[in-house]
Amino acid sequence: MIKKPRDIPLKILKLEALLRRLPQFHPSRKKLEDELAKNYAGYRGEQAVDYQLKFLKEDNWQFLFNVRLAGIKDTFFQMDSLLISDRFLVLLEIKNISGTLIFDQEFNQLIRVTSEQEDSYLDPLLQLQRQKVQMQTWLQTYKNPQIPISSLVVISQPSTRIKATSNPTTLAKKVVHAAALPDMIHSFSTIYKDPILTKNEVNKLTKLLMKHNIESNPNVLNQFQINPN
């Protein structure tokens, strides 16, 4: 059951509004268009993964999309998808990236290889582990029962190839294509068999998360150094 739907991100709406007002030959226009395309690609990738959640075998899940919570020392952490059951939680980090993805687990980086170039990104597994720790801390802060948290990096494009510089079997338990997501979550269910939360506690946790959700409201004018006048 979807408790917090995946709305179009405010950043996309702001970029679209800004582009409508910006002169055709403004020096920042190309950067804005590229940023909008990148954000739309991410949003479409998230939607593709959301579709796969319909095939979960159990029907007692509660879904919250794009949950952003206060972390430590005036920081925030955002989860693309948070799945809640009475036995465990699942955090999803969704990537809509084409080409070949090489997870370099020695140097904690993600390398994307296409026919044209090679790019390096921050390792999403490292990012996801940080989110998991922050989520555990958040649960403790608000006196919630301690419940296991599983996490996955989900690749939304089926044509994307996934490789590892080492331990591919271990990586296959942490990174999946979207179509494999329901089966992977089902495998977690065979590990966490005993309920930890009552139905009332699940609902209470969901409401608490929604209450403390802080929507991202980026200042795109400052980001692209555009004078509002």
How do residues 58-103 score in pLDDT, each as one tens digit? 878 999 999 999 998 889 999 999 999 999 999 999 999 999 999 9
CA distances from 215 to 3, 10, 14, 58, 206 (A): 15, 8, 14, 29, 16
- Please report whether residue 228 resides in a domain: no
Backbone φ, ψ for residue 24 (5° rounding): -55, -35
Whether 137 is in a domain gets the answer yes
Taking the C-alpha atoms of residue 193 and residue 216, their distance in angstroms, rounded to an integer, is: 35
Q: What is the pLDDT of residues 26-66, one digit of tens each?
A: 899 999 999 999 999 999 999 999 999 999 988 789 999 99
User: Has residue 94 been placed in a domain?
Assistant: yes
Q: Report yes or no on 42 lying in a domain.
A: yes
- Please report whether residue 64 resides in a domain: yes
Asked if the structure places residue 32 within a domain, the reply is yes
What's the average model confidence in pLDDT over 158-182? 96
- Give this prediction's pTM: 0.94
Domain that holds residue 91: 2-223
Spatial distance between the Cα atoms of 46 and 153, rounded to a whole number of angstroms: 12
Evaluate if residue 163 carries a pLDDT over 90. Answer: yes
Within a domain: residue 38?
A: yes
Decide: 162 and 103 in contact? Cβ < 8 Å: yes
Question: Could you tell me if residue 165 is inside a domain?
Answer: yes
Indicate the number of domains in the chain: 1
Residues 133-158 pLDDT 10s: 999 999 999 999 999 999 999 999 99
> How far, in Å, CA of 202 to CA of 82, rounded?
13
Q: Is the pLDDT of residue 193 over 80?
A: yes
